[in-house]
Structure 1
Amino acid sequence: MKSDQRPGLRAYDDSVRLAFPELVSQLREILGVRLVAYIGGVKSARSVSSWAEGTGSPGEVDQERLRHAFHVAGLLREKYDAATVQSWFKGMNPALNDDAPAHVLREVDPMKGARDLIAAAKAFAYIG
């Protein structure tokens, strides 16, 4: 069944509605534990596991970053496999001044970083 929704709308809805442990669990499946840990501001895979199990959680800003990462990852998964999405998050991106999207998410103000990342992801996935 083909959806007439705008590209990325489902990813956005899920990024807002999912309980945080479920969001982390799904994000970990797409990006891998190391990348989720990096975006979430921790070094330990154990921290990511505790977030996914609901026995711990990062600070509010890092939760926001991870929700934005989930939105972008979900948008890209509409077109690409998980390996391509991981590569996109790790690679130098010309739409982001050659910064890696994961780095932008971790280091830039979450709202500005998210806006730039969503625009770059839509351009990659739907414009070419």
Structure 2
Amino acid sequence: MQIQRETIAEAEARAHRSTAEQTIADIARFLQDTFSQRVAAFIAGVEDPKQVGRWAKGQNAPRFDSEFRLRTAFNVFTLIADYENQHIARAWMMGMNPQLDDDSPIEAIASGHLKEVMAAARSFRRGDL
């Protein structure tokens, strides 16, 4: 019997649903645990890494643009991790990416290049890179 891999569209829909179902506290905590509080703050565009800890504890919520970047990072990470594994997803997020002018996906998200990061993740899923 042949195992059929899910399509990219199905994987994206599942990653999107997973992202939508998470509270921002859950996402902040996940990114803090996966990358570090400092890196999560960088992604969110805030100077004080302790702010991420406050978000993770539900003490307050980030501004819209910070939440948008955090949710995008979580969504992309989930898309890669569900296809490969969390170790590969973490390495992919942190590594230089030729589709992003050798920035890492984390740097690109922090710089606001969210659609470009999603396009790079789709390419990775297809096996283009």
Give the structure-1-normalised TM-score: 0.81
Question: How far apart, in 1, do the equivalents of 2:6 and 2:126 lie?
Answer: 15
Hey, what does 2:35 align to over in structure 1? Answer: 31
Q: How many residues of Structure 1 are paired with residues of Structure 2 in the alignment?
A: 123
CA contact (8 A) 2:94 2:106 kept: yes
Q: Work out the percentage of aligned pairs sharing the same amino acid.
A: 27
Matched, 1:119 2:109: no
Hey, what does 2:59 align to over in structure 1? Answer: 55
Q: Which has the higher contact order (CA 8 A, sep 6+)?
A: 1
Question: How far apart, in 2, do the equivalents of 1:54 and 1:27 lie?
Answer: 14
Q: Which runs of 5+ in 1 are unaligned?
A: none
CA contact (8 A) 1:28 1:36 kept: yes
Q: Which runs of 5+ in 2 are unaligned?
A: none
Post-superposition Cα deviations, 1:50-106, rounded to whole Å, max 9, x if no partner, equal 111110222111111111111101001113333322222222211112222111111
Q: Over aligned residues, Cα RMSD in angstroms? A: 2.2
Query: Which SS does the other structure have where 1:78 is aligned?
Result: helix
Q: Which structure has the larger Rg over C-alpha atoms? A: 2
